[in-house]
Amino acid sequence: MTKDVIALTSKMPDTWALLAGLYAGGPETAVTAESRGAVLRLCAPDGRPLVSVEAPLLVQVPGEAERLLGRDVPVPFWWTEVRASGAVPEAERLAASVCGRLALLLGGSTWPEPAASTEVVDVRTAVAPDDGQPVVDVLTGTTSVVLADRPVLALTAWLSEVLRGTAESGRALQIVTPPSVRVSAPARATLLQVPGRWVVQDPAQGYYDGLSGTVLRWQDGTFTPALGADGTASVAEAFGHTRPTGERQLVVAFRTTLPAHEDIVLGEALEAAWRALTGSAPAGWGTAEPVNLPWSPRRLTDLARDRAPEPTHLLVTGHPGRPALAWIRVTRTTAGVEQDMTLTLGYGEDEEPPLEAITPLAETLVVEHGLTTMLASVRRASRDLTTPPVLQAPPVPVAFTLGARDVRGIGLTHARRPPVEVRPVALGPAAEPALHYPLGDGSDAAALIGLRRLAAHLRAGAPGTGPGTEAED
């Protein structure tokens, strides 16, 4: 198993501190650089990699260490990940010693704390795998398999890089964890979209898919559904071990389109939604977890502009008092600059999601931010926004908003007469309104049927170009 150790230090790991940490392997080890110097690798005497040390990350957003590691660390602090090859017994001790030395020299701690060490590890007899990738535990012709054991499996820079590398090689990524691991909202959303799988190791049934519950088996170099005699897949018993919860999540997924011009500022629509639903702006943003940069729409825009015309994927987080996470996908299309955003907020049993704010928010986004579509939903799920490997209730729709452009394409008369018992509310200019469709309070699953009927009705008004299809194509 790949072993992760993280140094959380108050001072920046400079060259001398890193050298002291890397000397944990003694004079027999060698150091190589990968990813344009962003990753250092500590190698055995024969040149094979034992440990990789990622570039230190300055975290300036409060609550990220608590959210991902269960550790309260005051900001700012430096987050340095060290990853050891599970195929080499000495590598885990070596990773612990690298982090322990950094924490001792720079002030701070390590995760997990018992891993801290400053010993010199004898690697002269270590035999490392030939693939040169200590972050991948099993590499086959079709699949890269990583074994992970963290409190929260997050969309870290490492995971993003592994996803990108496996996709470029034509492989799928499968992440194997014990059943105690939970998945962050961004990681869950990513695993649902890519050719990957969250594989949970269950003592009773072997392995199952952490998102669908399908029982899995290792066959021909990959985890695949274990089919019965009738050719159907079964669901693991452990996947059904759910507990009733009064905790809820409010999920607001929306898309905006802005004209492409030099003065464009991205992220302002998301900030408007954040303020409407929490009373404050987001706390931070970044390209991976932990989210490390203070909130700044200007800096966010600069990054997206530098990456254009390629899409930009970003993460945004809130303040510790109100669990909130969002992910943004920025793309350049013929219609302009489009932002696809999903904002998820967590509420405890004694807290009520601010559903009364949804309609005013829709109007603000229509009038000021070029809203194309918005779907607000409520689901029974953990306040901390993580997902355990058990059956999750589907989100129940609260309201759907259709922007003025799509209303015009469908036809106002058709769009105003849906086959459901709702009366759409006109938003924005009377000459070219958007339409807002209230669907319920998130407690009645029948709203799912209402949403399907509404979507079918709207598509019928614009054959082949249903709501928002430009950005989905």
User: What pLDDT shows up at residue 135?
Assistant: 56
Burial class (CB in 10 A: 0-12, 13-18, 19+), 268: middle
Alpha-carbon gap, residue 221 to 202, rounded angstroms: 19
Sorted by sequence, the CB contacts under 8 Å of residue 143 that are 6+ apart come out as: 171, 172, 173, 174, 221, 222, 223
Alpha-carbon gap, residue 299 to 181, rounded angstroms: 33
Would you state the structure tokens that stand for residue 368, as one six-digit string?
């000021």
In 3D space, the residue among 106, 183, 179, 358 whose CA is nearest the CA of residue 253 turns out to be 358
* Beta carbons of 403 and 254 less than 8 angstroms apart: no
User: What pLDDT shows up at residue 38?
Assistant: 60
Alpha-carbon gap, residue 184 to 325, rounded angstroms: 9
User: What pLDDT shows up at residue 18?
Assistant: 77
Would you state the structure tokens that stand for residue 30, as one six-digit string?
């060698």
* Beta carbons of 7 and 108 less than 8 angstroms apart: yes
Q: Are strands 152-153 and 182-183 parallel, antiparallel or unpaired?
A: parallel
pTM of the model: 0.89
User: What pLDDT shows up at residue 183?
Assistant: 96
Digitized pLDDT (tens) for each residue of the chain, 473 residues in all: 557 899 999 999 987 787 776 666 555 565 665 655 567 777 777 666 778 888 899 999 999 999 999 999 999 999 999 888 766 677 788 888 888 889 999 999 999 876 555 554 444 444 444 444 445 778 889 998 888 888 999 998 888 888 888 888 888 899 999 999 999 999 998 888 878 899 999 888 799 999 999 999 999 999 999 988 888 989 999 999 888 889 999 999 999 999 988 899 999 999 999 999 999 999 999 999 999 999 999 999 999 999 999 999 999 999 998 999 999 999 999 889 999 999 999 999 999 999 999 999 999 999 999 999 999 999 999 999 999 999 998 999 999 999 999 999 999 999 999 987 888 999 999 999 999 999 999 999 999 999 999 999 999 887 454 444 443 33
Q: At what angle do helices 15-22 and 89-106 cross, to 10 degrees?
A: 150
DSSP letters, 24-92, are GG-TT-EEEEEGGGTEEEEE-TTS-EEEEEEPPEEE-STTHHHHHHS---PSSEEEEEEEE-TT-HHHH
Q: Are strands 143-147 and 172-177 parallel, antiparallel or unpaired?
A: parallel
Alpha-carbon gap, residue 71 to 150, rounded angstroms: 12
In 3D space, the residue among 241, 234, 295, 231 whose CA is nearest the CA of residue 265 turns out to be 295
Alpha-carbon gap, residue 115 to 101, rounded angstroms: 11
In 85-237, DSSP assigns E strands to: 108-111, 138-139, 143-147, 152-153, 172-177, 182-183, 196-202, 206-209, 215-219, 222-225
User: What pLDDT shows up at residue 221?
Assistant: 92
User: At which residue do the structure tokens 């704010």 appear?
Assistant: 357
Distance spanning both ends of the chain, measured CA to CA: 39
Residue 253: CB atoms within 10 A of its CB come to 16
Would you state the structure tokens that stand for residue 214, as one six-digit string?
């399908």
Alpha-carbon gap, residue 398 to 424, rounded angstroms: 13
Alpha-carbon gap, residue 413 to 417, rounded angstroms: 7
